[in-house]
Amino acid sequence: MSPALLSDDFKAEPYWWEAVPQGTAEPGPLPETAEVVVVGSGYAGLSAAIALARAGRSVVVIEAKSAGHGASTRSVGMIGGRLRQSLAALARAFGAERADALLRETWDAYGWFRNFIRDERIDCDLALTGRLICAWTPGDMAALDKQADLLATRFGIPAQMIDKAGLRAELATDLYHGAMVLPQDGGLDPAKYHHGLLQLAKAAGVTVIEHTAVTGITESGAATRVITERGALTAPEVILATNAYTGRELPWYRRRVIAVGSHMIATSPLPAGTVDRLLPAGRLINDTRKLAYAFRASPDRRRLLVGGRALQVDRVDPIAIARRLKEVMVQAFPTLADAGVSHAWEGRVGFTFDRVPHIGRRGKLHYVLGCNGSGIVMSSYLGHRIAEMVMTGSTTSFFAGNELPSRPYYHGIPWFMPPMTFALSLQDRARSWLG
Ligand SMILES: Cc1cc2nc3c(=O)[nH]c(=O)nc-3n(C[C@H](O)[C@H](O)[C@H](O)COP(=O)(O)OP(=O)(O)OC[C@H]3O[C@@H](n4cnc5c(N)ncnc54)[C@H](O)[C@@H]3O)c2cc1C
């Protein structure tokens, strides 16, 4: 008999919500005014709110669902200090000098982020055990080798290569041809981190209004009017931190963020010692497939978590998510064929057309958008930087002042993703056969 796919206690929601359940309290009364209104209560919105409230501003955060209901409590929880784009691609888009500056600022942001967690004593199972970027093909191995050299020599970012035999000591799979090791990367519990930010925001005096969707924003004179489904409030400054959940009420921004569906599963607790055998060094794992997958242990090292990109943005059957990602897991770790899936969930990652995060100001609205899958560090960091822009009118961040691009015929529904994702999955298969 084939093993059951789902455990008896299966839930179609993030594993992380076990430790930090989503809030269900009725929203408090909507204030009529504030000095700053922040739309969205993920890392970006809360980080901006904390910085502003600590500087003495009255701040209201408005969230359509429960606090952190967007991507911020759904992720793999991997952290590091690189951008998704290669230096060459950044140089083509922004010029060599700005590309260098963007990468350096990203690495500095990672240092800022670790200090912030330490200084604020946020209890979020932070573990800097390093990351492996595993090569899907021998060609990927050569590309990673070049990248490791560039990161180490030009940017001082520690990165080393290990071959297939070396990888076997770090990861119990024969699926890959070797890996780049980023020893200073790590992982955390994304929902505990979000909860820590929420506590800091409330302690700083931020008013967080949950279960209240913003339905429109209008500018009139010196103030901006933020209209919600429960009434309106006015503020001289408004920050948009809605990322991949940006809706039709914000059409200009929606045309500039590509919401990419992303899926995850967690296994039931595995027999004692299993995770230590599979991931003896406790690394977090990404791979170089065009449709990349991610693996990590739960912080208590009892479960394996697997993440991968979805074919469509949302409303996917959780059982289909469980089935697909379990196949991916068993392909890498055949000994897990009997493991049950206890949690399967989806979330949205906010990509931009130039694949870099953006902060800026348009009219009276400030925005922080498009963390391109690296938002734990970058949404937090850029939240602080947008707060600086609100307070001083400027910032030295290189993520400000870049054009936030869109494309003709794109109105916020990424119709091109399903065919593109399918094509990428075919490419991965072909690349693995051809070697
Ligand atoms: C499955 C998955 C895996 C990921 N893995 C990683 C990882 O390993 N490492 C990493 O760094 N990043 C990862 N990410 C990305 C990371 O989680 C995000 O970049 C980050 O959480 C974005 O934070 P944010 O504050 O910008 O947006 P969000 O957390 O998405 O917050 C936006 C909020 O705005 C609210 N909102 C939208 N419209 C309105 C409105 N009209 N009115 C009121 N509220 C509104 C939404 O409800 C939402 O709560 C992953 C994401 C997913 C989905």
From 166-170, 391-395, 421-425, the region with the lowest mean pLDDT: 421-425
CATH topology for 6-434?
Answer: FAD/NAD(P)-binding domain (3.50.50)
Closest CA to 297 of 181, 125, 110: 125
Residue 208 in tokens:
């967080």
Give CA angle at 286 (284, 289), nearest 5°: 165
**60, 242, 306: residue to mutate for ligand 1 pocket, most atoms within 8 A of CB:** 242
From 20-24, 41-45, 107-111, 159-163, the region with the lowest mean pLDDT: 20-24
State the residue for tokens 């694949």.
Answer: 355
Residue 266 predicted with pLDDT over 90: yes
Q: How far, in Å, CA of 25 to CA of 28, rounded?
A: 9
- DSSP tag of 376: H
Report the mean per-residue pLDDT for the chain: 94
Q: Rounded mean pLDDT of 326-344?
A: 96
Of the chain, the percentage scoring pLDDT greater than 90 comes to 84
Q: How far is the CA of 376 from the centre of ligand 1 (A)?
A: 9
pLDDT of residue 312: 58
Positive/negative CA dihedral, 345, 351, 355, 356: negative
What single string gives the DSSP state of each residue in 414-428?
A: -TTHHHHHHHHHHHH
Q: How far is the CA of 70 from the centre of ligand 1 (A)?
A: 5
From 22-26, 259-263, 282-286, the region with the lowest mean pLDDT: 22-26
Question: Which atom of ligand 1 is the closest one to the Cα of 80?
Answer: 11
178: β partners: 163
Q: How far, in Å, CA of 381 to CA of 1, rounded?
A: 50
261: β partners: 348
Question: Which atom of ligand 1 is the closest one to the Cα of 67?
Answer: 49
From 18-27, 102-111, 141-150, 252-261, the region with the lowest mean pLDDT: 18-27
Residue 141 predicted with pLDDT over 60: yes
Give CA angle at 179 (176, 180), nearest 5°: 160
364: β partners: none
Burial class (CB in 10 A: 0-12, 13-18, 19+), 403: exposed
List the residue whose alpha carbon is closest to atom 4 of ligand 1: 75
Q: Rounded mean pLDDT of 201-223?
A: 94
pLDDT of residue 198: 98
Q: Are 256 and 404 in contact (CB under 8 A)?
A: yes
367: β partners: 240, 360
Q: How far is the CA of 41 from the centre of ligand 1 (A)?
A: 9
**41, 249, 324, 358: residue to mutate for ligand 1 pocket, most atoms within 8 A of CB:** 41
**245, 284, 369: residue to mutate for ligand 1 pocket, most atoms within 8 A of CB:** 245
Q: How far is the CA of 163 from the centre of ligand 1 (A)?
A: 35
Tell me the per-residue pLDDT of 32-75, one tens digit each, with 9 for 90 and over. Answer: 999 999 999 999 999 999 999 999 999 999 999 999 999 999 99
Q: How far is the CA of 133 from the centre of ligand 1 (A)?
A: 23
Residue 311 predicted with pLDDT over 70: no
Q: Pocket around ligand 1: residues whose beta carbon is below 6 Å from it?
A: 39-45, 62-65, 69-72, 74-78, 213-214, 241-247, 249, 262, 264, 307, 347-349, 371, 373-377, 379
Question: Which atom of ligand 1 is the closest one to the Cα of 45?
Answer: 25
pLDDT of residue 79: 98
User: Cα(first)–Cα(last) distance of the chain, in Å?
Assistant: 35
Closest CA to 313 of 242, 243, 349, 261: 261
List the residue whose alpha carbon is closest to atom 46 of ligand 1: 70
List the residue whose alpha carbon is closest to atom 48 of ligand 1: 70
Residue 333 predicted with pLDDT over 70: yes
Confidence class for position 110, pLDDT limits 50, 70, 90: very high
| Per-residue CA distances from 99 to 155, 355, 373, 375 (Å) | 12, 12, 19, 19
Confidence class for position 24, pLDDT limits 50, 70, 90: confident
From 92-96, 159-163, 313-317, 326-330, the region with the lowest mean pLDDT: 313-317
Q: Rounded mean pLDDT of 93-114?
A: 96
**15, 65, 66, 76: residue to mutate for ligand 1 pocket, most atoms within 8 A of CB:** 76
Cα 269 to chain centroid distance, Å, stands at 25
List the residue whose alpha carbon is closest to atom 10 of ligand 1: 374
Q: List alpha helices for 71-137, DSSP H.
A: 87-94, 96-119
Three-state DSSP class for residue 148: helix
Positive/negative CA dihedral, 86, 92, 96, 98: negative
Q: How far, in Å, CA of 114 to CA of 252, rounded?
A: 34
pLDDT of residue 315: 66
Residue 314 predicted with pLDDT over 60: no
pTM above 0.75, yes or no: yes
Q: How far is the CA of 374 from the centre of ligand 1 (A)?
A: 10
Residue 313 predicted with pLDDT over 60: no
Question: Which atom of ligand 1 is the closest one to the Cα of 43?
Answer: 25
From 8-22, 181-195, 419-433, the region with the lowest mean pLDDT: 419-433
Q: How far, in Å, CA of 10 to CA of 340, rounded?
A: 9
List the residue whose alpha carbon is closest to atom 18 of ligand 1: 375
Q: How far, in Å, CA of 293 to CA of 376, rounded?
A: 18
Three-state DSSP class for residue 180: strand
235: β partners: 224
Q: How far, in Å, CA of 80 to CA of 283, rounded?
A: 12
Question: Which atom of ligand 1 is the closest one to the Cα of 263?
Answer: 1
Residue 17 predicted with pLDDT over 70: yes
Instruction: Compute the 3-state secondary structure of the chain and give helix, strand, coil in percent, each to the nearest 5.
Output: 35, 25, 40
Residue 220 predicted with pLDDT over 80: no
Q: Rounded mean pLDDT of 257-279?
A: 96
Question: Which residue ranges make up each domain of the chain?
Answer: 6-434
Confidence class for position 218, pLDDT limits 50, 70, 90: very high
Tell me the per-residue pLDDT of 349-362, one tens digit each, with 9 for 90 and over. Answer: 999 999 999 999 99
